[in-house]
Amino acid sequence: MISKNGRLHRRAVVAELLRDRGNLLLIGGLGAPAWDITDAGDHPRSFPLWGGMGGAAMIGLGLALARPDDRVCVITGDGEMLMGIGALASISVRRPKNFSLIVLDNEHYGETGMQETHTGFGVDLAAMATASGWPISRKVTKPAEVTELRKLVHEGIGPIFANVKIDSERLPLVLPPSEGAYLKNRFRETVLGPEAHFA
């Protein structure tokens, strides 16, 4: 799970979090997180984003509130989280017990040229979640902590926030299906059943 550079390997982290995922509903943030969840196995209960940077956390919040009996997890990146930082406060106020937000933090904007994000200059997303009132917020840097996080995602009482520090290495793309209508309809039918009306 550790890369050649001594940091957590993003794909190994995601594979561990999604191991034996059961009925987990999953939102994959724009860019590399969407490729990571696809590398772990394309799944009808996954909704990888192809656009809308900054929106993954709030999409997950809406899903968690609409489906309180389902576990909902968002896996996104530090760039997207910084763009939608107000989501931390909104999610904390609504307090969905079935919700987890995992930020894969490589301290770079991976899709636009690997510019450093604010987390590379000391901005602490886990501390920001704590200050926003999240009952569980942690920074994850070790394999054992990833395994503990997996248990929280699948069994814990949320909302749960984790800032997972990962290597910034470039990895081969593993793209999900690219047709937005297909992804939407597949996810909707999986969540609501075959009787779901497709608009």
pLDDT at 199 over 80: no
**Residues 125/81, Cβ–Cβ less than 8 Å:** yes
The domain over range 10-192 is classified in CATH as 3.30.1490.20: no
User: What are the residue ranges spanned by the domains of the chain?
Assistant: 10-192
**Residues 71/154, Cβ–Cβ less than 8 Å:** yes
pLDDT at 197 over 90: no
pLDDT, tens digit (0-9, with 9 covering 90-100), for 132-174: 999 999 999 999 999 999 999 999 999 999 999 999 988 988 9
What mean pLDDT comes out for the span 168-181? 91
- Tokens for 78, please give them: 């530090």
pLDDT at 181: 92
H/E stretch holding 113 reads none
pLDDT at 52: 83
Which residue's entry shows tokens 């929280």?
Answer: 152
What mean pLDDT comes out for the span 172-194? 91
Question: Over the chain, what is the mean pLDDT?
Answer: 94
pLDDT at 194: 77
pLDDT, tens digit (0-9, with 9 covering 90-100), for 62-105: 999 999 999 999 999 999 999 999 999 999 999 999 999 999 99
pLDDT at 196 over 80: no
Contacts of 76 (CB under 8 A, 6+ apart): 27, 28, 29, 30, 33, 56, 57, 101, 102, 103, 104
- With b for 16 or more beta-carbon neighbours within 10 A and e for fewer, the 74-100 pattern comes to bbbbbbbbbbbbebbeebbeeebebbb
Confidence bin at 198 (pLDDT 50/70/90): low
pTM of the entire predicted model: 0.94
| Termini Cα distance of the chain | 42
pLDDT at 118 over 70: yes
**Residues 74/29, Cβ–Cβ less than 8 Å:** yes
pLDDT, tens digit (0-9, with 9 covering 90-100), for 10-58: 999 999 999 999 999 999 999 999 999 999 999 999 999 998 888 999 9
Return the higher-pLDDT residue of 52 and 59: 59
Cα distances (angstroms) measured from residue 158 to each of 82, 99, 175: 21, 5, 30
Q: In sequence order, what are the beta bridge partners of 108?
A: 116
Nearest Cα residue to 104 out of 134, 128, 140: 140
SS3 label, residue 185 = helix
Task: Output DSSP code: residue 135.
Answer: S
Pairing mode of beta strands 72-77, 46-48: unpaired
